[in-house]
Amino acid sequence: MARIVMKFGGTSMAGIERIRSVAARVKREVDAGNQVAVVVSAMAGETDRLVGFCREASALYDPAEYDVVVSAGEQITSGLLAIALQAAGVPARSWLGWQLPIATSDAHARARIGEIDTVALDASLNAGEVAVIPGFQGVTDTGRVTTLGRGGSDTSAVAVAAAMKAERCDIYTDVDGVYTTDPRIVPRARKLARVTYEEMLELASVGAKVLQTRSVGLAMKEQVRVQVLSSFTGEDAPMADALPGTMIVGEEEITDVERQLITGIAHDKNEAKITLVAVPDRPGAVASIFAPLADAGINVDMIVQNVAHSVGSTDVTFTVPMADLPRSLDVLNGADIGFEKLVHDTRVAKISVVGVGMRSHAGVAATMFTTLGERGINIQAITTSEIKVSVLIEEDYTELAVRVLHTAYGLDAEVAG
Protein backbone atom coordinates (compact mmCIF):
# COMPACT_ATOMS: atom_id res chain seq x y z
CA MET A 1 0.00 0.00 0.00
CA ALA A 2 1.44 3.36 -1.08
CA ARG A 3 0.61 6.85 0.05
CA ILE A 4 -0.11 9.19 -2.86
CA VAL A 5 -0.89 12.90 -3.00
CA MET A 6 -2.94 13.96 -6.02
CA LYS A 7 -3.17 17.67 -6.81
CA PHE A 8 -5.70 19.12 -9.25
CA GLY A 9 -5.55 22.67 -10.61
CA GLY A 10 -8.30 25.14 -11.38
CA THR A 11 -9.04 23.92 -14.91
CA SER A 12 -9.39 20.37 -13.58
CA MET A 13 -11.96 21.56 -11.01
CA ALA A 14 -13.90 23.95 -13.30
CA GLY A 15 -17.43 22.64 -12.89
CA ILE A 16 -19.27 19.62 -11.50
CA GLU A 17 -18.59 17.35 -14.49
CA ARG A 18 -14.85 17.92 -14.22
CA ILE A 19 -15.01 17.39 -10.47
CA ARG A 20 -16.75 14.05 -11.12
CA SER A 21 -13.93 13.19 -13.53
CA VAL A 22 -11.40 14.00 -10.81
CA ALA A 23 -13.35 11.79 -8.39
CA ALA A 24 -13.10 8.91 -10.89
CA ARG A 25 -9.31 9.32 -11.07
CA VAL A 26 -9.04 9.38 -7.29
CA LYS A 27 -11.25 6.27 -7.02
CA ARG A 28 -8.91 4.48 -9.37
CA GLU A 29 -5.98 5.05 -6.99
CA VAL A 30 -8.09 3.96 -4.01
CA ASP A 31 -9.22 0.79 -5.81
CA ALA A 32 -5.53 0.02 -6.44
CA GLY A 33 -5.08 -0.17 -2.67
CA ASN A 34 -3.40 3.21 -2.11
CA GLN A 35 -3.97 5.73 0.64
CA VAL A 36 -4.80 9.03 -1.05
CA ALA A 37 -4.80 12.68 -0.06
CA VAL A 38 -6.07 15.14 -2.65
CA VAL A 39 -5.11 18.83 -2.78
CA VAL A 40 -7.37 21.05 -4.87
CA SER A 41 -7.29 24.54 -6.33
CA ALA A 42 -10.30 26.82 -6.72
CA MET A 43 -12.32 26.60 -9.92
CA ALA A 44 -10.61 28.34 -12.83
CA GLY A 45 -11.19 32.08 -12.61
CA GLU A 46 -12.72 31.96 -9.13
CA THR A 47 -9.74 33.39 -7.26
CA ASP A 48 -9.57 36.31 -9.71
CA ARG A 49 -13.27 36.96 -9.08
CA LEU A 50 -12.76 36.98 -5.31
CA VAL A 51 -9.71 39.24 -5.58
CA GLY A 52 -11.84 41.63 -7.65
CA PHE A 53 -14.43 41.79 -4.87
CA CYS A 54 -11.73 42.74 -2.37
CA ARG A 55 -10.50 45.55 -4.61
CA GLU A 56 -14.01 46.82 -5.16
CA ALA A 57 -14.67 46.86 -1.42
CA SER A 58 -11.53 48.90 -0.73
CA ALA A 59 -8.34 49.74 -2.61
CA LEU A 60 -6.55 49.52 0.75
CA TYR A 61 -8.03 46.23 1.91
CA ASP A 62 -6.84 44.45 5.06
CA PRO A 63 -4.58 41.55 3.92
CA ALA A 64 -5.91 39.32 6.72
CA GLU A 65 -9.50 39.77 5.54
CA TYR A 66 -8.35 39.37 1.92
CA ASP A 67 -7.10 35.90 2.89
CA VAL A 68 -10.49 35.04 4.40
CA VAL A 69 -12.18 35.96 1.12
CA VAL A 70 -9.83 34.42 -1.45
CA SER A 71 -9.35 31.14 0.46
CA ALA A 72 -13.08 30.46 0.00
CA GLY A 73 -12.56 29.19 -3.56
CA GLU A 74 -10.54 26.16 -2.43
CA GLN A 75 -12.94 25.52 0.44
CA ILE A 76 -15.78 25.15 -2.05
CA THR A 77 -13.95 22.73 -4.38
CA SER A 78 -12.69 20.59 -1.50
CA GLY A 79 -16.23 20.12 -0.23
CA LEU A 80 -17.61 19.42 -3.68
CA LEU A 81 -14.94 16.81 -4.42
CA ALA A 82 -15.62 15.08 -1.07
CA ILE A 83 -19.32 14.96 -2.00
CA ALA A 84 -18.52 13.57 -5.47
CA LEU A 85 -16.25 10.89 -3.99
CA GLN A 86 -18.91 9.86 -1.48
CA ALA A 87 -21.43 9.61 -4.33
CA ALA A 88 -18.98 7.31 -6.13
CA GLY A 89 -18.79 5.04 -3.07
CA VAL A 90 -15.43 6.32 -1.80
CA PRO A 91 -15.23 7.34 1.89
CA ALA A 92 -13.93 10.92 1.93
CA ARG A 93 -13.93 14.09 3.96
CA SER A 94 -12.54 17.59 3.52
CA TRP A 95 -9.92 19.08 5.83
CA LEU A 96 -9.51 22.84 5.78
CA GLY A 97 -6.10 24.32 6.46
CA TRP A 98 -7.01 25.27 10.03
CA GLN A 99 -8.47 21.84 10.79
CA LEU A 100 -5.32 19.76 10.24
CA PRO A 101 -3.75 22.33 10.89
CA ILE A 102 -1.32 23.62 8.24
CA ALA A 103 0.72 26.10 10.27
CA THR A 104 2.10 29.10 8.39
CA SER A 105 3.78 32.43 9.00
CA ASP A 106 1.55 35.46 9.50
CA ALA A 107 2.57 37.15 6.23
CA HIS A 108 -0.95 37.40 4.81
CA ALA A 109 -1.33 36.80 1.05
CA ARG A 110 2.24 35.44 0.91
CA ALA A 111 2.53 33.12 3.92
CA ARG A 112 5.06 30.32 4.14
CA ILE A 113 4.29 26.87 5.50
CA GLY A 114 5.99 26.03 8.79
CA GLU A 115 4.72 22.55 9.59
CA ILE A 116 1.73 20.30 9.03
CA ASP A 117 0.24 18.33 11.92
CA THR A 118 -0.46 14.87 10.47
CA VAL A 119 -2.14 13.23 13.48
CA ALA A 120 -5.69 13.77 12.18
CA LEU A 121 -4.60 13.18 8.58
CA ASP A 122 -2.92 9.85 9.43
CA ALA A 123 -6.00 8.70 11.34
CA SER A 124 -8.25 9.59 8.40
CA LEU A 125 -6.04 7.78 5.86
CA ASN A 126 -5.65 4.72 8.07
CA ALA A 127 -9.44 4.56 8.42
CA GLY A 128 -9.70 4.24 4.66
CA GLU A 129 -10.85 7.79 3.95
CA VAL A 130 -9.63 10.02 1.15
CA ALA A 131 -8.51 13.30 2.67
CA VAL A 132 -9.47 16.28 0.49
CA ILE A 133 -7.41 19.35 1.36
CA PRO A 134 -7.82 22.86 -0.05
CA GLY A 135 -4.54 24.16 -1.41
CA PHE A 136 -3.22 27.69 -1.05
CA GLN A 137 -4.28 28.11 2.59
CA GLY A 138 -3.11 27.65 6.17
CA VAL A 139 -3.46 29.19 9.60
CA THR A 140 -1.30 31.33 11.89
CA ASP A 141 -0.52 30.47 15.49
CA THR A 142 -3.21 33.01 16.46
CA GLY A 143 -5.85 31.21 14.40
CA ARG A 144 -6.10 33.57 11.42
CA VAL A 145 -6.53 32.08 7.94
CA THR A 146 -3.62 32.72 5.56
CA THR A 147 -2.93 32.19 1.88
CA LEU A 148 0.39 31.30 0.25
CA GLY A 149 0.30 33.61 -2.77
CA ARG A 150 -0.97 32.92 -6.27
CA GLY A 151 -0.13 29.42 -7.49
CA GLY A 152 0.36 28.27 -3.91
CA SER A 153 -1.66 25.07 -4.27
CA ASP A 154 1.32 23.30 -5.85
CA THR A 155 3.34 24.22 -2.76
CA SER A 156 0.53 22.95 -0.52
CA ALA A 157 0.53 19.61 -2.33
CA VAL A 158 4.28 19.12 -2.01
CA ALA A 159 4.19 20.13 1.66
CA VAL A 160 1.39 17.63 2.38
CA ALA A 161 3.32 14.91 0.53
CA ALA A 162 6.43 15.63 2.59
CA ALA A 163 4.49 15.64 5.88
CA MET A 164 2.69 12.35 5.22
CA LYS A 165 5.81 10.74 3.70
CA ALA A 166 4.06 10.04 0.42
CA GLU A 167 5.65 7.87 -2.25
CA ARG A 168 5.05 10.67 -4.75
CA CYS A 169 3.03 13.79 -5.45
CA ASP A 170 1.05 13.66 -8.70
CA ILE A 171 0.24 17.14 -10.01
CA TYR A 172 -2.53 17.07 -12.61
CA THR A 173 -2.67 20.08 -14.88
CA ASP A 174 -3.65 21.07 -18.42
CA VAL A 175 -0.37 19.81 -19.90
CA ASP A 176 0.79 16.21 -19.99
CA GLY A 177 4.36 16.72 -18.81
CA VAL A 178 7.48 18.85 -19.07
CA TYR A 179 8.74 19.41 -22.63
CA THR A 180 12.11 20.44 -24.00
CA THR A 181 10.42 23.76 -24.85
CA ASP A 182 6.94 25.17 -25.47
CA PRO A 183 5.31 22.80 -28.05
CA ARG A 184 3.23 25.73 -29.32
CA ILE A 185 6.46 27.32 -30.57
CA VAL A 186 8.34 24.16 -31.52
CA PRO A 187 5.97 21.34 -32.60
CA ARG A 188 8.93 18.89 -32.48
CA ALA A 189 9.56 19.53 -28.78
CA ARG A 190 9.92 16.29 -26.83
CA LYS A 191 8.24 15.33 -23.57
CA LEU A 192 10.81 14.49 -20.92
CA ALA A 193 10.40 11.32 -18.88
CA ARG A 194 12.53 12.62 -15.98
CA VAL A 195 13.90 16.00 -14.97
CA THR A 196 16.09 16.78 -11.96
CA TYR A 197 14.89 19.10 -9.21
CA GLU A 198 17.61 21.60 -10.09
CA GLU A 199 16.68 21.65 -13.77
CA MET A 200 12.98 22.06 -13.01
CA LEU A 201 13.75 24.83 -10.52
CA GLU A 202 15.76 26.70 -13.14
CA LEU A 203 13.13 26.11 -15.85
CA ALA A 204 10.33 27.30 -13.56
CA SER A 205 12.28 30.41 -12.57
CA VAL A 206 13.00 31.46 -16.17
CA GLY A 207 9.57 31.12 -17.71
CA ALA A 208 8.38 27.49 -17.84
CA LYS A 209 4.82 27.60 -16.44
CA VAL A 210 4.34 23.91 -15.62
CA LEU A 211 5.11 24.13 -11.89
CA GLN A 212 5.35 26.98 -9.42
CA THR A 213 8.95 27.78 -8.40
CA ARG A 214 8.29 27.54 -4.65
CA SER A 215 6.80 24.06 -5.00
CA VAL A 216 9.87 22.79 -6.87
CA GLY A 217 12.22 24.29 -4.29
CA LEU A 218 10.28 22.60 -1.49
CA ALA A 219 10.24 19.27 -3.36
CA MET A 220 14.02 19.45 -3.74
CA LYS A 221 14.51 20.32 -0.07
CA GLU A 222 12.22 17.54 1.16
CA GLN A 223 13.13 15.06 -1.60
CA VAL A 224 9.51 14.62 -2.67
CA ARG A 225 9.15 12.86 -6.02
CA VAL A 226 6.76 14.94 -8.14
CA GLN A 227 4.99 13.68 -11.26
CA VAL A 228 3.37 16.05 -13.78
CA LEU A 229 0.33 14.58 -15.54
CA SER A 230 -2.61 15.83 -17.60
CA SER A 231 -6.21 15.84 -16.44
CA PHE A 232 -7.43 16.17 -20.01
CA THR A 233 -7.52 13.39 -22.57
CA GLY A 234 -9.94 12.38 -25.29
CA GLU A 235 -13.08 10.50 -24.30
CA ASP A 236 -11.68 7.23 -25.66
CA ALA A 237 -8.16 7.71 -24.28
CA PRO A 238 -6.82 5.92 -21.20
CA MET A 239 -7.05 7.68 -17.86
CA ALA A 240 -4.40 10.37 -17.55
CA ASP A 241 -2.60 8.59 -14.73
CA ALA A 242 -2.09 5.59 -17.02
CA LEU A 243 -0.19 7.78 -19.47
CA PRO A 244 3.49 8.65 -19.03
CA GLY A 245 4.02 12.11 -17.58
CA THR A 246 7.23 13.70 -16.33
CA MET A 247 8.82 12.73 -13.01
CA ILE A 248 10.77 15.38 -11.10
CA VAL A 249 13.43 13.53 -9.12
CA GLY A 250 16.88 13.74 -7.58
CA GLU A 251 19.88 13.62 -9.88
CA GLU A 252 20.84 10.18 -8.52
CA GLU A 253 17.69 8.69 -10.13
CA ILE A 254 18.78 9.73 -13.62
CA THR A 255 21.52 7.32 -14.63
CA ASP A 256 22.39 8.96 -17.95
CA VAL A 257 23.08 12.44 -16.54
CA GLU A 258 26.43 12.63 -18.36
CA ARG A 259 24.65 12.41 -21.72
CA GLN A 260 22.12 15.13 -20.92
CA LEU A 261 23.77 18.27 -22.21
CA ILE A 262 20.70 20.52 -22.44
CA THR A 263 17.33 19.56 -20.95
CA GLY A 264 15.20 22.46 -22.17
CA ILE A 265 14.82 25.94 -23.59
CA ALA A 266 12.61 28.43 -21.73
CA HIS A 267 11.45 31.92 -22.58
CA ASP A 268 9.94 34.73 -20.52
CA LYS A 269 8.43 37.93 -21.90
CA ASN A 270 7.54 39.24 -18.45
CA GLU A 271 10.83 41.12 -18.07
CA ALA A 272 11.55 44.83 -18.27
CA LYS A 273 14.97 46.36 -18.89
CA ILE A 274 16.11 49.46 -17.03
CA THR A 275 19.24 51.45 -17.94
CA LEU A 276 20.69 54.17 -15.75
CA VAL A 277 22.87 56.41 -17.93
CA ALA A 278 26.01 58.09 -16.57
CA VAL A 279 26.01 56.73 -13.04
CA PRO A 280 28.95 58.08 -10.99
CA ASP A 281 31.81 55.54 -11.27
CA ARG A 282 32.77 55.40 -7.61
CA PRO A 283 32.68 52.86 -4.74
CA GLY A 284 29.16 52.39 -3.41
CA ALA A 285 27.39 53.67 -6.52
CA VAL A 286 26.02 50.25 -7.48
CA ALA A 287 24.83 49.67 -3.91
CA SER A 288 22.92 52.96 -4.09
CA ILE A 289 20.95 51.47 -7.01
CA PHE A 290 20.19 47.99 -5.79
CA ALA A 291 19.81 48.51 -2.03
CA PRO A 292 16.63 50.64 -2.41
CA LEU A 293 15.19 48.07 -4.85
CA ALA A 294 15.90 45.26 -2.38
CA ASP A 295 14.30 47.25 0.44
CA ALA A 296 11.19 47.57 -1.75
CA GLY A 297 11.10 43.79 -2.27
CA ILE A 298 11.91 44.01 -5.98
CA ASN A 299 13.94 41.14 -7.43
CA VAL A 300 16.63 42.14 -9.91
CA ASP A 301 17.76 39.55 -12.45
CA MET A 302 20.30 40.38 -15.16
CA ILE A 303 22.87 43.08 -14.42
CA VAL A 304 25.35 44.65 -16.86
CA GLN A 305 27.75 47.45 -15.93
CA ASN A 306 29.37 49.00 -18.96
CA VAL A 307 32.96 50.14 -19.20
CA ALA A 308 33.11 53.82 -18.26
CA HIS A 309 32.14 55.81 -21.36
CA SER A 310 33.33 59.14 -19.96
CA VAL A 311 35.57 60.22 -17.13
CA GLY A 312 33.97 59.30 -13.83
CA SER A 313 30.72 57.73 -15.07
CA THR A 314 29.30 54.45 -16.38
CA ASP A 315 25.97 52.95 -17.51
CA VAL A 316 24.21 50.24 -15.49
CA THR A 317 21.57 47.98 -17.09
CA PHE A 318 19.41 45.41 -15.29
CA THR A 319 16.04 43.64 -15.53
CA VAL A 320 13.07 43.43 -13.18
CA PRO A 321 9.73 41.60 -13.45
CA MET A 322 7.33 43.52 -15.70
CA ALA A 323 4.82 43.87 -12.87
CA ASP A 324 7.44 45.62 -10.72
CA LEU A 325 8.48 48.17 -13.36
CA PRO A 326 6.32 51.12 -12.17
CA ARG A 327 7.42 50.61 -8.57
CA SER A 328 11.05 50.22 -9.65
CA LEU A 329 10.98 53.52 -11.56
CA ASP A 330 9.44 55.25 -8.56
CA VAL A 331 12.10 53.86 -6.20
CA LEU A 332 14.99 54.75 -8.50
CA ASN A 333 13.78 58.29 -9.17
CA GLY A 334 13.44 58.83 -5.44
CA ALA A 335 16.87 57.45 -4.51
CA ASP A 336 20.10 59.42 -4.25
CA ILE A 337 21.96 57.79 -7.15
CA GLY A 338 23.12 60.66 -9.34
CA PHE A 339 22.40 59.25 -12.82
CA GLU A 340 21.82 61.58 -15.76
CA LYS A 341 18.98 59.65 -17.41
CA LEU A 342 16.77 56.62 -16.78
CA VAL A 343 15.62 54.55 -19.78
CA HIS A 344 13.32 51.53 -19.68
CA ASP A 345 12.24 48.99 -22.29
CA THR A 346 9.45 46.42 -22.05
CA ARG A 347 9.99 44.99 -25.54
CA VAL A 348 12.48 42.41 -24.35
CA ALA A 349 12.46 38.67 -23.62
CA LYS A 350 14.69 36.34 -21.64
CA ILE A 351 15.79 33.13 -23.36
CA SER A 352 17.37 30.40 -21.22
CA VAL A 353 19.04 27.06 -21.88
CA VAL A 354 19.04 24.67 -18.92
CA GLY A 355 20.73 21.32 -18.31
CA VAL A 356 22.78 19.50 -15.67
CA GLY A 357 25.09 18.36 -18.49
CA MET A 358 26.63 21.84 -18.50
CA ARG A 359 28.66 20.84 -15.47
CA SER A 360 30.71 18.40 -17.52
CA HIS A 361 30.56 19.90 -21.03
CA ALA A 362 32.22 23.03 -22.37
CA GLY A 363 30.90 25.23 -25.17
CA VAL A 364 27.23 25.52 -24.18
CA ALA A 365 27.32 29.32 -24.01
CA ALA A 366 29.40 29.56 -27.19
CA THR A 367 26.82 27.50 -29.09
CA MET A 368 24.06 29.79 -27.83
CA PHE A 369 25.86 33.01 -28.76
CA THR A 370 26.96 31.72 -32.17
CA THR A 371 23.49 30.41 -33.07
CA LEU A 372 21.78 33.67 -32.15
CA GLY A 373 24.46 35.73 -33.91
CA GLU A 374 24.04 33.79 -37.14
CA ARG A 375 20.36 34.75 -37.14
CA GLY A 376 21.09 38.43 -36.47
CA ILE A 377 19.69 38.33 -32.92
CA ASN A 378 21.48 40.83 -30.69
CA ILE A 379 22.20 39.90 -27.06
CA GLN A 380 21.52 42.76 -24.65
CA ALA A 381 22.44 41.06 -21.35
CA ILE A 382 23.69 37.70 -20.07
CA THR A 383 23.39 35.82 -16.78
CA THR A 384 24.55 32.32 -15.87
CA SER A 385 24.39 29.68 -13.18
CA GLU A 386 26.03 26.27 -12.94
CA ILE A 387 23.31 24.68 -15.11
CA LYS A 388 21.78 27.67 -16.93
CA VAL A 389 22.68 30.38 -19.44
CA SER A 390 20.15 33.19 -20.02
CA VAL A 391 20.27 36.05 -22.50
CA LEU A 392 18.09 39.12 -22.99
CA ILE A 393 16.97 39.83 -26.56
CA GLU A 394 14.42 41.94 -28.42
CA GLU A 395 10.94 40.50 -27.86
CA ASP A 396 10.16 40.20 -31.58
CA TYR A 397 12.87 37.53 -31.93
CA THR A 398 11.57 35.31 -29.10
CA GLU A 399 10.06 32.49 -31.13
CA LEU A 400 12.89 32.44 -33.67
CA ALA A 401 15.46 32.24 -30.87
CA VAL A 402 13.66 29.35 -29.18
CA ARG A 403 13.35 27.40 -32.45
CA VAL A 404 16.95 27.80 -33.60
CA LEU A 405 18.40 27.00 -30.16
CA HIS A 406 16.16 23.94 -29.83
CA THR A 407 17.63 22.64 -33.09
CA ALA A 408 21.19 23.72 -32.29
CA TYR A 409 21.24 21.64 -29.10
CA GLY A 410 19.76 18.57 -30.80
CA LEU A 411 16.46 18.64 -28.93
CA ASP A 412 14.11 18.27 -31.93
CA ALA A 413 12.11 15.04 -31.84
CA GLU A 414 12.51 12.50 -34.62
CA VAL A 415 9.66 12.60 -37.13
CA ALA A 416 7.87 9.25 -37.15
CA GLY A 417 7.57 7.62 -40.52
Per-residue pLDDT reduced to its tens digit, 120-166: 999 999 999 999 999 999 999 999 999 998 889 999 999 999 999 99
- pLDDT per position as a tens digit, 34-81: 999 999 999 999 999 999 999 999 988 999 999 999 999 999 999 999
**What gap in Å lies between CA 93 and CA 101, rounded to an integer?**
15
Identify whether the C-beta of residue 26 lies closer than 8 Å to the C-beta of residue 90.
yes
* pLDDT score of 225: 95
Q: How confident is the model at residue 205 (pLDDT cuts 50, 70, 90)?
A: confident
Three-state DSSP class for 311?
A: coil
What predicted TM-score, i.e. pTM, was given to this entire model?
Answer: 0.83
CB-CB neighbours of 200 under 10 Å: 29
Q: How confident is the model at residue 15 (pLDDT cuts 50, 70, 90)?
A: very high
Q: How confident is the model at residue 306 (pLDDT cuts 50, 70, 90)?
A: confident
CB-CB neighbours of 273 under 10 Å: 22
* Higher local confidence (pLDDT), 12 or 309: 12
* pLDDT score of 204: 84
Of 118-122, 184-188, 275-279, 306-310, minimum mean pLDDT range: 306-310
The average confidence (pLDDT) of the chain is 90
**What gap in Å lies between CA 377 and CA 396, rounded to an integer?**
10
CB-CB neighbours of 250 under 10 Å: 13
- Asked if residue 102 has pLDDT above 90, the reply is yes
- Asked if residue 390 has pLDDT above 60, the reply is yes
- pLDDT per position as a tens digit, 32-41: 999 999 999 9
User: What are the phi and psi torsion angles at 259 (to 5°)?
Assistant: -90, -5
Identify whether the C-beta of residue 316 lies closer than 8 Å to the C-beta of residue 305.
yes
Three-state DSSP class for 286?
A: helix
* pLDDT score of 352: 94
If you write DSSP's letter for every residue of 13-57 in order, what string do you get? TSSHHHHHHHHHHHHHHHHTT-EEEEEEPPPTTHHHHHHHHHHHH
- Asked if residue 251 has pLDDT above 90, the reply is no
Long-range (24+ apart) CB contacts under 8 A made by 97-100 are: 97/71, 97/133, 97/134, 97/137, 97/138, 97/139, 97/145, 97/146, 98/138, 98/139, 98/143, 98/145, 100/133
* pLDDT score of 357: 84
